[in-house]
Amino acid sequence: MIKISVSPADFSAGEEIQKIAALGGGAVASFTGQVRGDGELVALELEHYPAMTEQALQSIAEEAAAQWPLHGITVIHRVGRLAVNDQIVLVCTGSDHRQAAISACSFIMDKLKTVAPFWKKEIWQDGSESWVEERQSDLDAAADWKKRT
């Protein structure tokens, strides 16, 4: 059971975990990302490629489902303007096995960071804006899964 959501709306990590837990697997892992207050940062502007985003997330979730025995996968990613401390992303996975749940959650985040069409623009207190650059550590993390699987 895969649930993908891309929208400006906020989400409740607790409710999403409960929904996955209700599938009865016994093991639920989650990752929540939020806007980190980096010095003078006021907000992030999350842009995406609407025609592609949901199917890209769906593909990542299906790849995880093919690799681990999962009862449920939820991926929620917000778009639009997000203030410091706002939630950005939630990945939640349910399984009979804790390592499957945790590994799948970690895999989905690593892939999402490198192949899902989102772009972050930082908006600073002085009014300036800057596009976030890709990070080598994210590329390395995603590449590591290829070696492992």
Binding site for another protein (CB under 8 A): 33, 46-49, 51-52, 55-56, 77, 88-89, 98, 109, 112-121, 131-134, 138
The interface partner of residue 56, options being a copy of itself, another protein, none and the CB cut-off 5 to 8 Å by kind, is another protein
The interface partner of residue 29, options being another protein, a copy of itself, none and the CB cut-off 5 to 8 Å by kind, is a copy of itself
Give the dihedral sign, CA 35/45/62/90. positive
**Encoding tokens for residue 121?**
């623009």
Determine the Cα–Cα distance for residues 64 and 54; give it in Å rounded to an integer.
15
Give the x-and-dash track for 32-71 against a copy of itself (CB under 8 A): xxxxxx----------------------------------
Count H helices and E strands in the chain, helices first.
4, 8
Q: Given the complex with a copy of itself, which of 38 and 62 has the nearer CB atom?
A: 38
Q: Given the complex with another protein, which of 71 and 113 has the nearer CB atom?
A: 113
**Encoding tokens for residue 49?**
């490629």
The nearest distance, CB 62 to another protein, in angstroms, is 14
CA separation (Å) from 148 to 27, 57, 100, 142?
22, 21, 14, 10
Determine the Cα–Cα distance for residues 95 and 64; give it in Å rounded to an integer.
12
Q: Given the complex with a copy of itself, which of 8 and 135 has the nearer CB atom?
A: 135
Q: Given the complex with a copy of itself, which of 51 and 133 has the nearer CB atom?
A: 133
Backbone angles phi, psi at 81, to 5 degrees: -85, 125
The interface partner of residue 35, options being a copy of itself, another protein, none and the CB cut-off 5 to 8 Å by kind, is a copy of itself
